[in-house]
Amino acid sequence: MHQRVLPPTEPVDPGLVSPLNYAVAQQDRETMSMVRCAVERRDVVLAFQPIVQGASPDRPAFYEGLIRILDETGRIIPAKDFIETIETTELGRKIDCLSLEMGLIALAADPGLRLAINMSARSIGYPHWMKTLSKGLAMDDTAAERLILEITESSAMVMPEIVTVFMHDLQQRGVSFALDDFGAGFTSFRYLREFYFDIIKIDGQFIRGISDNADNQVLTQALMSIARHFDMFTVAESVENGRDAAFLQSLGIDCMQGYYYGAPTIVPPWKVPAAQLRA
């Protein structure tokens, strides 16, 4: 007789499931509760990380705004600790709305800023997300051309036909699109051709330690070749040391992002005096 595994949203009787399943379900419920409370309190912030030019790494090409929530103690919780749990729920859509709203506010406050904001393809059909986007673009004539929407490879492939139409419509208005975590999933090259992403972000699993890893060197070169064929800008994620950065520069990578060039910070780096950044 098979054990009955209850979904995490229902009360779980420990006697009906394995200890591991019960612990996972309990953790998911606690994560959902933490995020829901933070959203209700609007205890959310963006942490900004620079994406630097490969040829001139002392100059940021743009920034990525990464969503963070604050728990009841004020502790900052990064998206990696909760996004998988809420991705397919309405709570995930609300997080996307807040992230977009804060990103548009940042763009409006700094006319020279170019900013990437993460979203799930599932938010395309969420009315409040679309309303937030339309309102922000209408308030600032330059916002569209300075906004980059990052869509993960996995979520884009859930509904590729809808994503292509959505992207085409917004690209006509000046918005750019980045395919996040490229290489981590199983993108159909047929859809990659039809998507016409402006930017391809190569997943960090291929970048970390690339200077000493022949396999990752070959794979990264292949991913860069694919991006160039489709006239897509390349960004290497998770650049964490000088040797990897130098190797990527030798390959001709367009941009790099990672702790070597700056950790995400809730204090906008472009507002911090240069002397203080060097200190």
253: Cβ contacts below 8 Å, ≥ 6 apart: 54, 224, 234, 235, 236
Length, in residues, of the chain = 279
**Residue 27 and residue 52 share a domain:** no
Quote the tokens at residue 99.
């992230």
Lowest-pLDDT choice from 83-97, 202-216, 261-275:
261-275
pLDDT band for position 4 (cuts 50, 70, 90)? very low
Residue 193 pLDDT > 70 = yes
Looking up tokens 């992207």, which residue turns up? 167
Residue whose structure tokens are 């790099």:
256
What pLDDT score was predicted for residue 13? 54
What's the pLDDT score for residue 195?
A: 84
Phi and psi, residue 208, nearest 5°? -60, 120
Distance CA 150, CA 49 (A): 14
**What is the tens place of the pLDDT at every residue in 72-100?**
899 999 999 999 999 999 999 999 999 99
Where does residue 21 rank: exposed (0-12), middle (13-18), buried (19+ CB within 10 A)? Answer: middle
Exposure of 209 in the CB half-sphere (CA atoms within 13 A): 6
pLDDT tens readout for residues 138-163: 999 999 999 999 998 888 888 888 99
For the cut 60, the answer to whether the pLDDT of residue 276 exceeds it is no
What residues form DSSP beta bridges with 223?
none
Instruction: State whether 13 and 57 are in the same domain.
Output: no
Q: Given a cut of 90, is residue 2 above it in pLDDT?
A: no
Looking at the structure, tell me whether residues 116 and 200 fall in a common domain.
yes
Check if the beta carbon of residue 44 is closer than 8 Å to that of residue 70.
yes
Task: Note down the domain range covering 10.
Answer: 1-41
Structure tokens at 159: 């509904």
Cα–Cα distance, 144 to 104 (Å, whole number): 9
Q: Are residues 76 and 62 in the same domain?
A: yes
Same-domain check for residues 254 and 128 = yes
Quickly tell me which residue has 């240069």 as its tokens: 274
Q: In DSSP terms, which residues pair with 265 in a beta bridge?
A: 48
Total structural domains within the chain: 2
Give the mean model confidence (pLDDT) for residues 189-203: 85
Asked if residue 247 and residue 129 are part of one domain, the reply reads yes
Full-prediction pTM beyond 0.85? yes
In a shared domain, residues 149 and 70 = yes
Q: Among 51, 70, 133, 126, which Cα is nearest to 100's?
A: 133
Question: Computed from CA positions of residues 256, 257, 259, 263, in that sequence, does the dihedral angle turn out positive or negative?
Answer: positive
Mean pLDDT, residues 128-133 taken together: 97
Closest CA to 160 of 147, 179, 173: 179
Angle, CA of 210, 59 and 174, to the nearest 5°:
95
- Measured N-to-C along each axis, helices 127-139 and 90-109 cross at an angle, to the nearest 10 degrees, of 0
In a shared domain, residues 186 and 95 = yes
Same-domain status, 36 and 63: no
pLDDT at 184: 79
The structure tokens listed for 112 are 């020279």
18 compared with 105, residue with greater pLDDT: 105
Neighbours of 9 (CB within 10 A): 11
Residue 7: which pLDDT band, with cuts at 50, 70 and 90?
Answer: very low
Mark whether 112 and 35 lie in a shared domain.
no
CB 107 within 8 A of CB 115: yes
Q: Span 111-116, mean pLDDT?
A: 97
> What's the CATH number where 110 sits?
3.20.20.450
Asked whether residue 37 falls in the same domain as residue 114, the answer is no
Residues 80, 82, 84, 85, Cα dihedral to 10°: 170
Q: Indicate if 11 and 71 belong to the same structural domain.
A: no
